[in-house]
């Protein structure tokens, strides 16, 4: 496995996150038009870099990774699904707890992340303990 070490944490590589995009689109069908396609490799690299450079604990870094992948929109399809898988992988790889249940209803929370509805601390609490206020428009 090709991983990058920084501050004793193992981070996913851009190539691994791109693989997760392919996987997410194969496993979690949302739209017929979904196709794995990288629109901005540099935004994937930037998301990893922001996470590495974020001060704080692993959950602060995971929050930045999730937020950056969702809002940076580096893929043609499946950005939220890819970010979810990448953050889960990042935490489990580093022996940290991932508190979010694998449930399609979590898609609403990810929509809230995309739309800037949640604060950093709310997203961090969700990733760590699975608790967050309901997303409402």
pLDDT score, position 26: 86
Amino acid 46: pLDDT: 98
Q: Is 24 part of a structural domain of the chain? A: no
How many CB atoms within 10 Å of residue 41?
A: 13
Nearest alpha carbon to residue 77 among 13, 115, 25: 25
Report the alpha-carbon distance of residue 105 to residue 71 in Å, rounded. Answer: 19
Q: Residue 116 belongs to what domain range? A: 41-137
pLDDT of residue 28: 72
Residue 6, domain member (yes or no): no
Looking at the DSSP assignment, which residues form a beta bridge with residue 4? 11
Q: What is the pLDDT of residue 104?
A: 81
Measure the CA–CA gap between 93 and 29, rounded to whole angstroms.
Answer: 26
- Tell me, yes or no, whether 13 lies in a domain: no
Number of domain units in the chain: 1
Spatial CA neighbour of 75 closest among 46, 47, 37, 110: 37
Residue by residue, pLDDT tens for the chain (137 residues) are 344 444 599 999 999 999 999 999 988 766 667 788 899 999 999 999 999 999 999 999 999 999 999 999 999 999 999 999 999 999 999 999 999 998 888 889 999 999 999 999 999 999 999 999 999 98
Give the pTM. 0.90
* Within-domain flag for 136: yes
The answer to whether position 78 is within a domain reads yes
CATH code of the domain containing 123:
1.20.120.1870
Task: Let me know if residue 79 belongs to a domain.
Answer: yes
Predicted confidence at residue 7, as pLDDT, reads 56
């Amino acid at each position: 496995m090709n991983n990058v070490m920084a501050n004793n944490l193992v981070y996913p590589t851009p190539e691994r996150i791109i693989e997760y995009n392919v996987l997410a689109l194969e496993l979690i069908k949302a739209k017929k038009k979904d196709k794995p396609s990288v629109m901005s490799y540099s935004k994937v690299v930037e998301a990893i870099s922001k996470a590495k450079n974020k001060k704080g604990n692993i959950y602060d870094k995971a929050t930045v990774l999730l937020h950056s992948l969702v809002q940076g929109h580096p893929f043609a399809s499946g950005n939220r699904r890819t970010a979810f898988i990448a953050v889960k992988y990042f935490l489990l790889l580093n022996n940290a707890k991932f508190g979010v249940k694998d449930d399609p209803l979590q898609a609403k929370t990810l929509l809230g992340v995309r739309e800037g509805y949640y604060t950093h601390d709310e997203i961090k609490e969700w990733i760590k303990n699975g608790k967050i206020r309901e997303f409402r428009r």
